[in-house]
Amino acid sequence: MSIAICPGSFDPITKGHLDIIDRASTIFEKVIVAVAHNMEKKPLFTPQERIEFISDALNDYNNVEIDSFTGLLVDYAKKKNAKAIIRGLRAVSDFEFEIQMALMNRRLHGEIVTAFMAANEKYTYLNSRIIKEIAQLKGDVSKFVTPLVEEQLKKKYMNK
């Protein structure tokens, strides 16, 4: 079975992420959306909350699983028998970090391929950090995230 991992912080998941996952699901027999417990970043949402938002958004897909992982992504991918790690590229500015990760992951585990997908041009400028900033400043994020994420962002920033 061809299995791909879509890893990320997903803090929170955006329509940009969902677009990449949707396309990956048409290519691979199984896609695992893997939420990273990233020690260095201070996430707004807990891994459990982030998983909930992703599950809510991807309810209709029967070849997409949602999971979380700690430690190295390549170790997780190996454990899951994944053939590929999928990453979305929005603009040239993404490239440097992404190629560094892809090449390092290849050094760590040569058999897992990193495949880049061009993000939908509608979401070129979109990322989770900007979404949080807009929500915190009481802007409208409804075009960029699911209704559940929009509601939970409002809740988080209600009294801030």
Residue tagged active-site, from 15, 30, 50, 90 = 90
In this complex, which beta carbon is closest to ligand PNS, that of residue 105 or of residue 152? 105
How far apart are CB 86 and ligand PNS at their closest, in Å? 10
Residues that bind ligand PNS (CB under 6 A): 7-9, 36, 38, 72-73, 101, 104-105
Residue tagged active-site, from 17, 30, 50, 132 = 17
Q: What is the 3-state secondary structure (H, E, C) of the chain?
A: CCEEEEEECCCCCCHHHHHHHHHHHHHCCEEEEEEECCCCCCCCCCHHHHHHHHHHHCCCCCCEEEEEECCCHHHHHHHCCCCEEEEEECCHHHHHHHHHHHHHHHHHCCCCEEEEEECCHHHCCCCHHHHHHHHHCCCCCCCCCCHHHHHHHHHHHCCC
How far apart are CB 72 and ligand PNS at their closest, in Å? 4
How far apart are CB 35 and ligand PNS at their closest, in Å? 8
In this complex, which beta carbon is closest to ligand PNS, that of residue 72 or of residue 118? 72
| 128 is a catalytic site residue | yes
The catalytic residue positions are: 17, 41, 90, 128
